[in-house]
Structure 1
């Protein structure tokens, strides 16, 4: 069902972001990423107390090939 949209101001869209207005059948951002993070990396809040006395992040990846985005067209 079509709709009417007023003024839109886009300040920033990331490299794998998707922006749409109106009807859409399929949204397919094409991006892959691998993230390594140590203990306490993604904690959020105002007053955090985090004690990681000895922490090590294992970044060894022995499989060589990860899932790709070959079929995201």
Structure 2
């Protein structure tokens, strides 16, 4: 059944989003990200005690593409 669409106002479409008007079978946005974190990062919970005297995050990433999502 065809869709009837009235007025549409688009404020912002980010890099990993989809903007589609009308009939569609399936939409599947894909994105990837790389995160660097030092020791003691991403800990969750109550009562966590972390003792780090000197924490460094060394990153040596020579390749240009880690996870390509173009054409998938």
What is the CA distance between 1:27 and its match in structure 2? 6.8
Instruction: In structure 1, list runs of 5 or more residues that go unmatched.
Output: 1-14, 18-25
> Are residues 1:58 and 2:58 paired?
yes
Corresponding residue for residue 33 of structure 1: 33
Q: Indicate the structure whose relative CO is greater, using CA pairs within 8 Å and at least 6 residues apart.
A: 1
Consecutive aligned runs of 4 or more in structure 1 exceeding 2 Å deviation: 26-29
> Are residues 1:43 and 2:33 paired?
no
Aligned partner of residue 70 in structure 1, secondary structure: coil
Instruction: In structure 2, list runs of 5 or more residues that go unmatched.
Output: 1-14, 18-25
Looking at structure 1, the residues matched to 71 and 54 of structure 2 have their Cα atoms a distance apart, in angstroms, of 41
Corresponding residue for residue 4 of structure 2: none
The normalised TM-score by structure 2 is 0.55
Q: What count of residue pairs does the alignment treat as equivalent?
A: 53
The normalised TM-score by structure 1 is 0.55
